[in-house]
Amino acid sequence: MIPTPAIEINHLAKTYRGADEPALDGISLTVPEGEIFGLLGPNGAGKTTTINILCGILQPSGGNIRILGKDSIREHDAIKHIIGVVPQDIALYPSLTARENLKFIGSMYGLSGKNLADRVDECLHVFGLTKFGGRMVGKYSGGMKRRVNLIAGILHQPRILFLDEPTVGIDVQSRTVIIEYLKKLNEDGTTIIYTSHYMEEAELLCSSIAIIDRGKIITQGRPASMVGSQPGFTNLESIFLQLTGRKLRDY
């Protein structure tokens, strides 16, 4: 029996109202369960649009998505329980403490009472924030905020975790803690869909990647097999630059 893929994207299209070009131009992808899948691309390539559609934040203009076999539009409510999202922004209430933020988010996923409190404590401990759990998030450093932002996405132990640039603008220590934790989470069975501008990080973390540009998948595969497959493909960054060009991408 063929296992159900974690994510199955078929001819996904998205054109924003008033835009001349489609943000996504019929992309198709399959991500098996248990992968750490990197969706890479220059600015405006369509990474965040893809993640937002996968998470149900945006509605596609065409195509369809199945997440663990469930239709992303018709079964969106059921999907919400099995996915976790770590957005690029620090999506936390700055006037609430980390513990209050996490307790609120945990409650939304049906956690309550001692289970919720224990899970919050456990996560704060893993990310070295136990001492600061009672401090307002607005008073945290950038790295601490990123760590709480990540905890908010994994608190309910989702089967699929979407991460949109989870390590952007943080110190090396925080980045290391996050990367190590993501690896462990994946070892425990969580499928991770990840976007980043850090090619080295993606190469280190991802079991497979897709490079997206101008709304289309231009290549996909395992980083190890891609590196060295063609002349000049010495690492992921060189592959990326050869495929997407050196022209600045302002949009």
Partner 1 sequence: MKRFWATIKKEFLVLVRDWAGLGLIFLMPAVLVLVMTLIQDASFRKLDETKITLLYLDEDLDSLGSHVKTGLLEADYFEVVTEVDGKILTEKEILSQVAAGNYQIGIRIPSGSTDAIRLRGQQMVQQTILGIEAPPSDSSGQARILIYYDPAMKNSFRLTVRNALENFTSKIEAGIMFKALSDEMAQYLPEPPAPMTGAGSSISYEEIYATDTHTEIIPNSVQHNVPAWTIFAMFFIIIPLTGNLIKERESGLAMRLMTMPGNQFQSLGAKVFIYTIVGMSQFALMLILGKELLPLFNLPPLILGPEKTALILMALTTTLAATGYSVLVGTIARTHDQAAVFGMVSVIILAAIGGIWVPVFMMPNLMQAASQVSPLNWSLDGFYQILLRGGGIREVAENAGALFLFFAVTLTLAVAISTKSRRA
The answer to whether 92 contacts partner 1 (rule: CB under 8 A) is yes
By CB under 8 A, name the one of 43, 69, 91, 173 that touches partner 1: 91
Spatial CB neighbours of 247, under 8 Å, sequence gap ≥ 6: none
Using CB under 8 A, which residues numbered 69 to 88 contact partner 1? 77, 80-81, 83, 85, 87-88
Q: How far is CA 1 from CA 64, 69, 122, in A?
A: 23, 14, 37
Query: At its nearest, how many Å lie between partner 1 and the CB of residue 114?
Result: 15
> CB–CB of 106/120 below 8 Å?
yes
Instruction: Restricting to residues 4-43, name those near partner 1 by CB under 8 A.
Output: 16-17
CB of 93 to partner 1, least distance (A): 6
- Cα–Cα distance for residue pair 227/63, rounded to 1 Å: 31
For residue 182, state whether it binds partner 1 (rule: CB under 8 A).
Answer: no
Quote the CA–CA distance of 179 and 37 in Å, as a whole number.
14
* Residue 135 engages partner 1 in binding (rule: CB under 8 A): no
Residue 144 in the binding site for partner 1 (CB under 8 A): no
Q: Which of 52, 174, 195, 208 binds partner 1 (CB under 8 A)?
A: 52
Give 86's contacts (C-beta < 8 A, 6+ positions apart): 149, 150, 152, 153, 154, 161, 162, 163, 164, 166
Torsion angle of the four alpha carbons 43, 46, 50, 51, in this order, in degrees rounded to the nearest 10: 10
Residue nearer to partner 1 on the CB measure, 94 or 169:
94
Please work out the total of residues on this chain that contact partner 1, with binding judged by CB under 8 A: 34
Which two structure tokens, joined as six digits, stand for 99? 């513990």
> Which of 100, 121, 171, 237 forms a contact with partner 1 (CB under 8 A)?
100
User: Considering beta carbons, is residue 159 or 183 the nearer one to partner 1?
Assistant: 159
- Contact (Cβ atoms closer than 8 angstroms) between residue 52 and residue 45: no
Instruction: Write out the residues near partner 1 by the rule CB under 8 A.
Output: 16-17, 52, 55-59, 77, 80-81, 83, 85, 87-96, 100, 103-105, 107-110, 112, 136, 152
